[in-house]
């Protein structure tokens, strides 16, 4: 069991997650959910049973039952962890959107991040911010499918390596801010307009999209908004659609263009705060994996070389360049020198840098030691025909490279390093580092290292085999991912709101205890007098009266009120119609069977 910030994790996948990720975890604060929150959850989940049985991918409904998610109340993260543990996954609660790189890395560790806010009743159809409906009822059920969960984990592994830019992070911050504003009750329209303009501006000035920006699009059009099957009759598997009762209905209509899924989806930007004008249809889950690998094969972490190093320099963020010896250099890359063939022969970082091997920092080579940057050649040595990292101690001695003695190394590129050899470092039989004192390194007339600068640690490796985002050993590098300072909105609860919550709690109690039906009229009259804009409580009372054949006069009055509300706006017309439809449908045997299969 691992404990972080007062939160303890008994789930194995969560317990294995590194510290730099668990700093995003928050307490779910389950008791903060109100009776209105649970009623909104219940309405959405019961609509999902009705609609998604027919239109979602077949594994979704099965997964909904297998994950132990109740249709009656918001789930507890601990309960979901107990179920997810059976497929070696876990879940943590987080506060709204977290940075894409962190989100991806959680997935790589087989941990689902669950934004634990609950959407407000005015966003019952679709929420602009991630919430527990989206995460628990959208993502969790579908990962019960082994093939899909493997895709999700692989996406996380690839995404955690993707190069991202400062502009990516600024766009993420702007999107997060806009989603929080849009979810706020009585949001200032001017503030929303300004935040929208900032998102649009940052999208337009993003420049050439980074690997992370392109991957985020592939993630959006599959994991969040994916359809599966044929273009003519696709099924829903994307969590954004599964958790949006409005969009899950409208997305299958002909007005929403359906496009066969391919790597070209990376070129299609998206807007998270509105419904999607087009969607991509994959053949099956293997198709998703094929496209992901096609994309991954072109990424810097796979190709390395000059292309990868240039991406590291462009991103102006901490990145890692890995030599073919396995030595990993993590820092902010500032320069690469190339030879006449365009091959990288020397690379340099600025500021705090760390050296690692197999993603574990090498002792004595952390950011305190390399606080002013790191520079080193890459490439073959003139004196050796083989890759330098493969040279044995005998071969090094034959070249005059012996600890405690002076040595001179000439690279094929023309770089010359000379000084006293202090230490030779090997790992897994490969040569990683040679440390020199009184050392000079030159490339023609250019001084790369001067003896007055202190000790020189020279990396060994014929080439740069991989370049990826972030530090190799993030916990040791102390690369604190920026946990957002702006928190998501918690609806303020004044005395009037508390009275409404109390009415919802009374109705829930009557429904669950099957007693006290005679009080429903008084509760409804109070709601009419004090909260005339609320419709969901009336629908819940109507549903109880219909199911129990009680108080036909009261039922008729409530039905009249709901029909009047239906006429007011298109959104209300849709929602109330769905409510009536559900009242009819819940009498059917297949619905009752689904309800009884769901945990209470």
Q: What mean pLDDT comes out for the span 525-545?
A: 94
| 7 pLDDT above the threshold of 60 | no
Element (H, E) at 186: none
160, part of any domain: yes
Same domain (yes/no): 582, 459? no
Q: What is the pLDDT of residue 546?
A: 93
456, part of any domain: yes
Q: What mean pLDDT comes out for the span 152-181?
A: 83
What is the spatial distance between Cα 21 and Cα 112, in angstroms, rounded to a whole number? 12
Q: What is the pLDDT of residue 487?
A: 55
Same domain (yes/no): 412, 526? no
Q: What mean pLDDT comes out for the span 102-123?
A: 85
307, part of any domain: no
- Pull the structure tokens for residue 499: 């009275």
Q: What is the pLDDT of residue 455?
A: 95
Q: What is the pLDDT of residue 167?
A: 77
What is the spatial distance between Cα 363 and Cα 369, in angstroms, rounded to a whole number? 10
Q: Which residues, 6 or more positions from 385, have their beta carbon under 8 angstroms from its beta carbon?
A: none
| 492 pLDDT above the threshold of 90 | no
Nearest to 373 by CA among 391, 396, 394, 347: 347
What is the spatial distance between Cα 478 and Cα 360, in angstroms, rounded to a whole number? 13
- pLDDT per residue over 48-58, tens digit each? 777 788 888 98
pLDDT-derived band of residue 587, with 50, 70 and 90 as boundaries?
low
Same domain (yes/no): 192, 55? yes
The domain total for the chain is 3
490, part of any domain: no
Element (H, E) at 430: strand 430-443
What is the spatial distance between Cα 284 and Cα 519, in angstroms, rounded to a whole number? 52
290, part of any domain: yes
| 355 pLDDT above the threshold of 80 | yes
| 352 pLDDT above the threshold of 80 | yes
Q: What is the pLDDT of residue 295?
A: 97
Q: What is the pLDDT of residue 96?
A: 74
- Residue 110 · residue 13 · CB < 8 Å: yes
Residue 295 three-state SS: helix
More confident residue, 452 or 62: 452
300, part of any domain: no
Q: Is 425 exposed, middle or buried (0-12, 13-18, 19+ CB in 10 A)?
A: buried
Same domain (yes/no): 208, 86? yes
pLDDT-derived band of residue 273, with 50, 70 and 90 as boundaries?
low
Q: Is 599 exposed, middle or buried (0-12, 13-18, 19+ CB in 10 A)?
A: middle
pLDDT-derived band of residue 485, with 50, 70 and 90 as boundaries?
low
| 585 pLDDT above the threshold of 50 | yes
| 466 pLDDT above the threshold of 60 | yes
Mark which of 266, 294, 322 sits at the end of a domain: 294
Nearest to 24 by CA among 90, 109, 114: 114
More confident residue, 128 or 259: 259
Same domain (yes/no): 397, 499? no
Same domain (yes/no): 460, 318? yes
Q: What is the pLDDT of residue 457?
A: 97
What is the spatial distance between Cα 598 and Cα 586, in angstroms, rounded to a whole number? 14
Alpha-carbon radius of gyration of the chain? 29
Same domain (yes/no): 435, 499? no
More confident residue, 415 or 1: 415
Q: What mean pLDDT comes out for the span 277-299?
A: 96
- pLDDT per residue over 406-456, tens digit each? 999 999 999 999 999 999 999 999 999 999 999 999 999 999 999 999 999
- Residue 348 · residue 375 · CB < 8 Å: yes
Q: What is the pLDDT of residue 434?
A: 97
- Pull the structure tokens for residue 15: 């317990």
Same domain (yes/no): 126, 183? yes
Q: What is the pLDDT of residue 5?
A: 46
Q: What mean pLDDT comes out for the span 76-86?
A: 87
Tell me which residue range forms the domain holding 467. 314-477
482, part of any domain: no
Q: Which residues, 6 or more positions from 278, have their beta carbon under 8 angstroms from its beta carbon?
A: 256, 257, 258, 259, 268
Phi, psi of 60 (to 5 degrees): -65, -50
Q: What sections of 346-494 are H helices per DSSP?
A: 393-398, 474-477
Mark which of 294, 325, 355 sits at the end of a domain: 294
What is the spatial distance between Cα 149 and Cα 6, in angstroms, rounded to a whole number? 29
| 8 pLDDT above the threshold of 70 | no
Question: Which neighbouring-strand residues pair with 420?
Answer: 406, 437
Residue 397 CB coordination number (10 Å): 12
Q: What is the pLDDT of residue 6?
A: 43
Nearest to 292 by CA among 210, 211, 235: 211
Same domain (yes/no): 337, 227? no
- pLDDT per residue over 329-339, tens digit each? 999 999 999 99
Q: What is the pLDDT of residue 67?
A: 74
- Residue 489 · residue 180 · CB < 8 Å: yes
More confident residue, 288 or 589: 288
CATH number of the domain residue 191 falls in = 1.10.800.10
Terminal CA-to-CA distance of the chain, rounded, Å? 28
> Average pLDDT over the chain, rounded to whole?
87
Residue with the two structure tokens 């317990």: 15
485, part of any domain: no
Q: What is the pLDDT of residue 200?
A: 79
Which has the minimum average pLDDT: 41-50, 279-288, 473-482?
Answer: 473-482
Which has the minimum average pLDDT: 316-325, 456-465, 482-491, 553-562?
Answer: 482-491
- Residue 239 · residue 139 · CB < 8 Å: yes
Phi, psi of 25 (to 5 degrees): -70, 140
Same domain (yes/no): 23, 155? yes
More confident residue, 241 or 9: 241
Mark which of 294, 324, 352 sits at the end of a domain: 294
User: Residue 228: CA atoms inside 13 Å, Cβ hemisphere, count?
Assistant: 22
More confident residue, 361 or 115: 361
Q: What is the pLDDT of residue 132?
A: 85
Nearest to 115 by CA among 94, 133, 100, 129: 94
| 233 pLDDT above the threshold of 70 | yes
Q: What sections of 470-567 are H helices per DSSP?
A: 474-477, 495-513, 520-530, 536-548, 552-566
Q: What is the pLDDT of residue 219?
A: 93
pLDDT-derived band of residue 556, with 50, 70 and 90 as boundaries?
very high
- Residue 16 · residue 476 · CB < 8 Å: no
Same domain (yes/no): 406, 458? yes
Same domain (yes/no): 395, 512? no
């Amino acid at each position: 069991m691992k404990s972080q910030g007062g939160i303890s994790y008994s789930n194995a996948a969560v317990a294995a997650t590194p510290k730099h990720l668990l700093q995003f975890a928050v307490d779910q604060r389950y008791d903060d959910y109100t009776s209105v929150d649970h009623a909104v959850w219940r309405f959405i989940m019961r609509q999902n049973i009705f609609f998604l049985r027919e239109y979602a991918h077949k594994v979704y409904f099965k997964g909904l039952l297998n994950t132990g998610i109740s249709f009656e109340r918001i789930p507890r993260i601990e309960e979901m962890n107990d179920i997810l543990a059976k497929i070696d996954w876990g879940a943590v609660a987080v506060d709204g959107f977290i940075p894409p790189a962190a989100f991806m890395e959680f997935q790589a560790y087989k941990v689902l991040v669950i934004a634990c806010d609950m959407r407000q009743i005015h966003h019952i159809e679709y929420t602009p911010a991630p919430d527990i409906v989206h995460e628990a009822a959208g993502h969790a059920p579908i990962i019960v499918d082994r093939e899909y969960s493997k895709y999700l984990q692989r996406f996380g592994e690839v995404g955690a390596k993707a190069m991202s830019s400062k502009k990516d992070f600024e766009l993420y911050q702007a999107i997060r801010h806009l989603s929080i504003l849009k979810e706020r009750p009585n949001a200032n329209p001017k503030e929303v307009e300004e935040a929208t303009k900032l998102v649009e501006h940052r999208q337009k000035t993003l420049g050439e999209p980074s690997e992370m920006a392109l991957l985020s699009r592939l993630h959006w059009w599959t994991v969040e908004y994916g359809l599966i099957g044929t273009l003519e009759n696709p099924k829903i598997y994307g969590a954004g659609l599964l958790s949006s009762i409005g969009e899950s209905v409208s997305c299958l209509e002909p007005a929403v263009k359906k496009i066969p899924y391919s790597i070209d989806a990376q070129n299609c930007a998206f807007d998270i705060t509105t419904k999607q004008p087009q969607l991509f249809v994959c053949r099956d889950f293997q198709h998703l994996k094929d496209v992901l690998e096609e994309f991954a094969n072109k990424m810097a972490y796979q190709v390395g070389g000059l292309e990868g190093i240039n991406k590291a320099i462009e991103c102006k963020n901490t990145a890692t360049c890995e030599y073919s010896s396995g030595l990993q250099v993590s820092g902010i890359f500032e320069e690469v020198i190339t030879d006449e063939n365009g091959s990288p022969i020397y690379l340099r970082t600025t500021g705090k840098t760390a050296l690692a091997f197999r993603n574990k920092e090498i002792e004595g080579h952390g950011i305190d030691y390399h606080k002013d940057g790191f520079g080193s050649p890459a490439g073959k040595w003139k004196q050796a025909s083989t890759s330098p990292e493969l040279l044995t101690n005998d071969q090094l001695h034959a070249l005059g490279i012996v600890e405690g003695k002076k040595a001179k190394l000439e690279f094929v590129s023309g770089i010359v390093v000379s000084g006293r050899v202090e230490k030779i470092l090997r790992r897994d039989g490969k040569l990683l580092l040679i440390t020199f004192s009184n050392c000079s390194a030159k490339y023609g007339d250019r001084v790369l290292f001067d003896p007055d600068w202190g000790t020189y640690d020279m990396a060994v490796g014929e080439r740069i085999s991989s370049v990826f985002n972030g530090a190799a050993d993030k916990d040791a590098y102390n690369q604190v991912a920026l946990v957002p300072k702006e928190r998501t909105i918690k609806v303020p609860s004044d005395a009037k709101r508390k009275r409404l919550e109390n009415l919802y709690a009374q109705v829930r109690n009557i429904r669950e205890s099957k007693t006290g039906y005679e009080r429903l009229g008084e509760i409804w009259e109070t709601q009419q007098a004090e909260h005339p804009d609320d419709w969901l409580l009336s629908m819940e009372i109507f549903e109880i009266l219909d199911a129990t054949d009680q108080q036909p006069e009261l039922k008729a009055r409530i039905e009249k009120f709901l029909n009047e509300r239906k006429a007011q706006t298109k959104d209300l017309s849709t929602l109330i119609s769905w409510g009536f439809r559900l009242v009819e449908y819940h009498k059917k045997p297949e619905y009752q069977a689904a309800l009884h299969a769901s945990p209470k």
